Amino acid sequence: MSLYKNWTDMVVKYVKEKGEDAFWDEYSKIEKGIYIEILSKHEEVVKTTIAELSKKHNGTEEFIMGFVDGINDSLNVQHDLETIEATTELTFDINLEKLYFNMLDAKAEYLFTLPQWDGIFSQDKRKEIEKEYKESKIVRNDNKVGRNDPCPCGSGKKYKKCCGK
């Protein structure tokens, strides 16, 4: 069984047994510690293993796998999560703008407000990324249906006589 599968199974079991709040309390402490370390050395490409991170941050290999799952979308070269083992060397070549954006998207305030971001992005740059994030969440319907156009439901009636009533 893969470490990734162990991670997903462990989350379900943990939440059932101890509750969602307990899970997030434990997981966020580990995640925050790893991010503080990585963001402090943001100019370096970090190479490590899940086993090393587990020892260093006092977390299970499954929790560290959860961290890898969370950061994976923000990496310049993503890892195949299903093939990762505890001793697989992982390279964290992070796209920092994408990471900050993804932290906003995850509503992880405990991460995107870390003081380590001060040494990476200016306040203006962070506001620019926040604006980009907010813009990405606005849904715009550019193809507005006119009242005399055929109804998009396919009824063959005019929109005003069908779904536009």
Domain count, the chain: 1
Specify whether the CB–CB gap between 79 and 68 falls below 8 A.
Answer: yes
CA distance readout (Å), 98 to 9, 48, 74, 164:
28, 21, 5, 40
> Looking at the domain assignment, is residue 79 inside a domain?
yes
Q: Encoding tokens for residue 41?
A: 């050395």
Mean pLDDT computed over every residue of the chain: 94
d(CA 107, CA 37): 20
> Looking at the domain assignment, is residue 131 inside a domain?
no
> Looking at the domain assignment, is residue 9 inside a domain?
yes
Tens of pLDDT, residues 114-155: 999 999 999 999 999 999 999 999 887 778 888 899 998 989
d(CA 104, CA 46): 23
pTM score above 0.75: yes
Query: CA nearest 149: which of 139, 160, 165?
Result: 160
- Mapped to the 3 state alphabet, what secondary structure does 100-126 carry? HHHHHHCCCHHHHCCHHHHHCCCHHHH
> Looking at the domain assignment, is residue 58 inside a domain?
yes
> Looking at the domain assignment, is residue 48 inside a domain?
yes
> Looking at the domain assignment, is residue 154 inside a domain?
no
Which residue segment(s) compose the domain that 58 sits in? 3-121
> Looking at the domain assignment, is residue 129 inside a domain?
no
- Report pLDDT for 118: 96
- Report pLDDT for 145: 86
Model confidence at 53: pLDDT above 80:
yes
> Looking at the domain assignment, is residue 100 inside a domain?
yes
